Structure 1
Amino acid sequence: MSRTTLSRFSLARRSRTLAVAATAVALTLGLAACSDDDDATTAASSDATGSGADSEATQGTWPREVDSLTVDNGEVTGETEKVEIPEQPERIVSTSVTLTGSLLSVDAPVIASGGAKVGPTSDDKGFFTQWADKADAAGVEALWQLEPDLQKVAAQDPDLIIVSAVGADTATTLYDELTKIGVPVVVLDYSDKTWTEITTEIGEITGHEEEAAATIQSYEDRVAEVRDTIDEPEQPVNVVLPAQGGNLNFMTGESAQGRIITDLGWELAVPGDDITRTDGDYAGRTDVRQVTGENADKALIGKTVFGINVDGTEPVIDKLKAIPTLTDAYAVTNARVYELGASAFRIDYFSAMEILDQIEEYFTPQGAE
């Protein structure tokens, strides 16, 4: 690709960034600072993402080959294949609302996206609340709500299609038809990666490696800022998602939510094998451990508890108080249960930053500026 073309893409990205609201401002400032300090910035980005060498080697190189999961008769095989992207994409369609947040966070030119069902985690278009305003500012068109439509994708005249391999927002059943549109189709699994790993991968696929590194660095900078600003809460910490029937889902250090806690340097308490359910939807998962109500007191040992209120109904503290075995739980009886909003259910850059904002608000000493 010519230097002139790359410059045009750079200008387009910068224009889109200026249109995005406050969260992306930090990213823009980070990129603007890269003038005579490219070597230092590359080194810092390498430390943040663990893939700086690869990014340096591929930045601006087209065509490029990227890894994509293979799909056979609508089913993901678990194997990967190389998909060639001939030139830097300018019209990306995301069939996965979960992956759209990562595309927006690196300022990739996503023009349309599938959405989730309307609910506490999303707006009336099905866009997740943590980045819906960014999508609107960027002019992203909403295509559907968990009902993939081949014709709607084709009508966007995309030059790259992003598909999730898993989740309610997958469109693998349409994979064969999507490939017939005649543009690269890349299938990604976000369930076995951290949000930072997905962000790095998205950056490499779209040619936005520098933006991805800067996005991750801005998160890490914010973690350090919050850690230095607040009073550390009582340790250890539980992160829970109340479930039906009085069950509790505990986030582990493998979860995106748990990693935020450990990034802050706190001790994350996780239920032991002896009280964790080994049946049902959470059997075998490493990011979440489910505990029944009768064992809730043995699992909720955190002196500080963060509860994810994904359905937006009654407060988490009330849900915990309704579990008989938690009557004497320390966090419950000492008002140490802190609510996280619905956006904390699915973590990307934007929701991670929202969680850090909430934590700062909860634990900044009174009277501190």
Structure 2
Amino acid sequence: MNFRTLPLRRNRPARAVVAAAAASVLTLGLAACSGDDSGESGTSASQTGTTGAAGGTETGDASDDQGTWPRSVDSVVVSNGKATKETEKVEIPAKPEKIVSTAVTLTGSLLAVDAPVVASGGANVGPTSDDKGFFTQWAGEADDRGVKALWQLEPDLQKVAAEDPDLILVSASGADTATAQYEELKKIGVPVVVLDYSDKTWGDITTSIGEITGHEAEAADAIQSYDDRVREVTEKIEKPEQPVNVVIPAQEGAVNFFTAESAQGEIVKDLGWDLDVPGDGVARTDGSYAGRTDVRQVTAENADKGLVGKTVLGINVDGKEPVIDKLKAVPNLAGTYAVSNDRVFELAPSAFRIDYFSAMDILDQIEDYFAK
């Protein structure tokens, strides 16, 4: 067998948080981990934050605001149904008790901080989601919490209103955005907060949602739980052969490589591994990849110049043909070190979209693959 796959365990953030400890984590400050510094070795989710990020508070000490209501948070400005680059203040009068998430991408972070999400929009049914459109990494958690599935990428305002929410969350971008319905959502008469997850780490979003919902301690706990798990996994595994590529096979033999500025790449860096990413002379810099910093695509003819990692983590995003078979189908990849030496390790489809739950799933798989 020339590839390896393993079943996933299920991870939930610890709920028992000593208040003083949680406050100290927040008081230390969560240093922003933007695209400019996310490539630094050792950067972890707990070192990410929301300095001026949409959805966060502007205070320098989040612990001072915990439990204080009303509070004002930043929300992306929506104009003519489209998100802008500007933010505005939205006041939340009291700690939310019934949250509706119109964006399935944000729902996992709500669950991770134990926020009272009662209903959520969903994605299309597929390898990364269950039959309700909930992402597989947290679908079980949502079911346990009784979260209602409202739709699959087709926002229904009547269904939102029927839940009688006291807070509505909207994503500024992505297939799950509901910015086109923003003005109508506001007419429901409760705060509507728009978050842009496209340029933030999962730690940033987790922290922002903790602040918005009054669950700062739980957000800090989830991030600390990830950091603790990183340290635990690092101690329990044999460091694989370096460097490492993190890839998704694309159409026509092309290969997409995650950079250190991607959520997937950050996990590799958190583990202290050497992430290899194709340079400008190999990767595409045209079309939709012009200026993109999280993913670099290499076409089939240059694939062997890009796949130079001695260990490859391949995300099986469609959940069908094994990654190794897709790579072997590219003629000039059969002789690369990782492919020819059984060094391709498959990650589940959930690794495509990172939140607390999928980050922990990846760490579980890595521990199983490289256990001492």
Scaled by the length of structure 1, what TM-score is found? 0.89
2:346 equivalent to 1:333: no
2:14 equivalent to 1:27: yes
Return closer, same or farther for 1:108/1:45 CA change in 2, 3 Å cut-off.
farther
Return closer, same or farther for 1:201/1:270 CA change in 2, 3 Å cut-off.
same
Return closer, same or farther for 1:325/1:73 CA change in 2, 3 Å cut-off.
same
Measured in 1, the distance between the counterparts of 2:133 and 2:250 equals: 23
Following superposition, the deviation at residue 325 of structure 1 comes to 1.4
| Structure 1 residues 149-160: aligned runs within 5 Å | 149-160=156-167
2:67 equivalent to 1:80: no
Following superposition, the deviation at residue 279 of structure 1 comes to 2.6
Q: Secondary structure of 1:281's partner? A: helix
Report the counterpart of residue 190 of structure 1 in structure 2: 197
Following superposition, the deviation at residue 288 of structure 1 comes to 0.4
**Larger helix percent:** 1
Measured in 2, the distance between the counterparts of 1:44 and 1:112 equals: 33
Please list every run of 5 or more consecutive structure 1 residues that lacks an aligned counterpart in the other structure. Answer: 1-20
> Which of the residues 107, 118, 129 maps onto 1:111?
118
Q: Percent identity?
A: 69
> Which of the residues 271, 290, 293 maps onto 2:300?
293
Measured in 1, the distance between the counterparts of 2:328 and 2:253 equals: 10
Q: Secondary structure of 1:161's partner? A: strand
Cα contact 1:275–1:295 (8 A) shared by 2? yes
Measured in 1, the distance between the counterparts of 2:230 and 2:48 equals: 18
Report the counterpart of residue 317 of structure 2 in structure 1: 310
AA paired with 1:328?
A: G
Scaled by the length of structure 2, what TM-score is found? 0.88
| Number of equivalenced pairs | 341
Q: CA RMSD in A?
A: 1.7
Please list every run of 5 or more consecutive structure 2 residues that lacks an aligned counterpart in the other structure. Answer: 1-8, 32-45, 50-58
Measured in 2, the distance between the counterparts of 1:109 and 1:75 equals: 27
Q: Secondary structure of 1:28's partner? A: coil
2:268 equivalent to 1:261: yes
Measured in 2, the distance between the counterparts of 1:50 and 1:117 equals: 30
AA paired with 1:198?
A: I
Measured in 2, the distance between the counterparts of 1:144 and 1:122 equals: 13
Structure with bigger RCO (C-alpha 8 Å, 6+ apart): 2
| Structure 1 residues 156-305: aligned runs within 5 Å | 156-305=163-312
Measured in 1, the distance between the counterparts of 2:125 and 2:362 equals: 22
Cα contact 1:45–1:213 (8 A) shared by 2? no
User: Deviations 1:201-237 (Å, cap 9, x if unpaired)?
Assistant: 0001101001000100000000000000000000000
Report the counterpart of residue 155 of structure 2 in structure 1: 148
Measured in 2, the distance between the counterparts of 1:220 and 1:102 equals: 16
Cα contact 2:22–2:220 (8 A) shared by 1? no
Measured in 1, the distance between the counterparts of 2:173 and 2:252 equals: 26
AA paired with 1:313?
A: K
Following superposition, the deviation at residue 277 of structure 1 comes to 1.1
Measured in 2, the distance between the counterparts of 1:89 and 1:39 equals: 20
Moved more, 154-163 or 36-45: 36-45
Moved more, 44-53 or 307-316: 44-53
